[in-house]
Structure 1
Amino acid sequence: MKSRVQLAKNRHKNGYNCAQAVACTYCDLLGMDEKTAFRAVEAYGLGIAKRYEMCGSICAMMMLAGLKNSDGNMVEPATKFSTFDLGGHMIKQFENWNTTSCCALLRGTDGKTDRLRSCRGCVADCARIVEDQLFPGLFEPYEDRSPEEE
């Protein structure tokens, strides 16, 4: 299947926040409709409700990891720790590429001159990680990791 990374970037370019761009690109593969995903992660944009803390793209990636890995057993959940491990591994990959998962540090002081990574670049990185970690072998590799991902 063709990579959806460009689709995630296009969603961000067309007005979805960073979390929405990532979540809505893959939610159909995990049993969630796009409108529900869009609504569920709306507050995660700009580092969780414009607090510039954890990158919103990463928050969406964690939601997708839960949808993929959780057994959904609310009486005796058995997958909680494996989902924590999966999410932690995904965040570590992002941090290996970008040095941090903190929105304020990624964006820099003004979102342009001293940023480590653009928001669209973070969307692309999280989309790549989702494809690699949650759907290994399903998508063709997405190779373009330009500094700006504009």
Structure 2
Amino acid sequence: MDKNFDNRVERAVELFRQGYGCCQSVVAAFADLYGFTEEQAARIGAGFGGGVGRMRMMCGAVSGLVVLAGMKEGQTEGSDRAGKAECYKTVQELVSRFGDANGSIICAELLGLKGPIPKGNYVPDARNADYYAKRPCAAKVESAARIFADYLAGEPDAGE
């Protein structure tokens, strides 16, 4: 793989360890390829953290894959059904790769949580050594970033 893509995978994990959410970290590591700054990417991905607003639904790293697929493949005309289909195909492929590699795409399942998520539980956990030791999130961010990097590496114009 192009070393530049390896650096992007490392950057995604670094951003997560700086306190950014899973989606923010994955999107920001590739944002410049689509004309966005890391700050803009952080804003785009902010609400997807904690499995969408800390509701433990779809993993934020997976949401990052979806955002990146849209940036790369998304149609810009509402009537472009073929473009929409191509984007959806890419999303399904990338999300499937993540699910196959990680056993789920659902935040709660990846965290081993059981039962319903309490409503109003929107305050994120403190990022400290205990948090990083217990959570698989950095590995999920790395997995999603690697999946997108591998996807880009398979493109004829990758790295240009």
TM-score strictly above 0.5: yes
Matched AA of 1:118: P
CA contact (8 A) 1:27 1:33 kept: yes
**Is the partner of 2:87 in helix, strand or coil?**
helix
Q: Distance in 1 between matches of 2:101 and 2:64?
A: 18
| Distance in structure 1 (CA, Å) of the matches to 2:67 and 2:146 | 15
Which of the numbers 49, 61, 65 marks the counterpart of 1:61?
65
Q: Equivalents in 2 of 1:78, 1:27: separation in Å?
A: 25
Structure-1 residue corresponding to 2:117: none
TM-score, reference length from structure 2:
0.77
Alpha-carbon distance in 2 for matches of 1:80, 1:22: 22
Instruction: Judge conservation of contact 1:46–1:52 (CA < 8 Å) in 2.
Output: yes
Q: Kindly, what percent of the aligned residue pairs are identical? A: 29
Number of the residue aligned with 1:122: 140
CA deviations 1:27-50 (Å, max 9, x no partner) are: 101122222111011010010000
Return closer, same or farther for 1:82/1:5 CA change in 2, 3 Å cut-off: same
Whichever residue aligns with residue 108 of structure 2, its letter is A
Q: Does 1:131 find its partner at 2:135?
A: no
* RMSD, aligned α-carbons: 2.2
One-letter amino acid of the counterpart of residue 119, structure 1:
C
Any idea what SS the aligned residue of 1:122 has? Answer: helix
The C-alpha deviation readout for 1:70-127, integer Å capped at 9, x for no partner, is 2422454531011111110101111111111010010113998xx8x70101100000
- Unaligned residue ranges in structure 2 (runs of 5+): 115-129
3-state DSSP of counterpart to 1:46: coil
How far 1:19 sits from its partner (Å)? 0.6
Moved over 4 A (4+): none
| Structure 1: unaligned runs, 5 residues or longer | 140-150
Aligned residue pairs: how many?
Answer: 136
Asked whether the equivalents of residues 75 and 87 of structure 2 are also in contact (C-alpha less than 8 Å), the reply is: no
In the alignment, does 2:29 pair up with 1:28? no
Matched with 1:147 is: none
- Aligned equivalents of 1:10 and 1:36: distance in 2? 17
The structure in which a higher percent of residues are helix is 2
Q: TM-score normalised to the size of structure 1? A: 0.82
Aligned to 1:81: 85
**2:33 maps to 1:15:** no
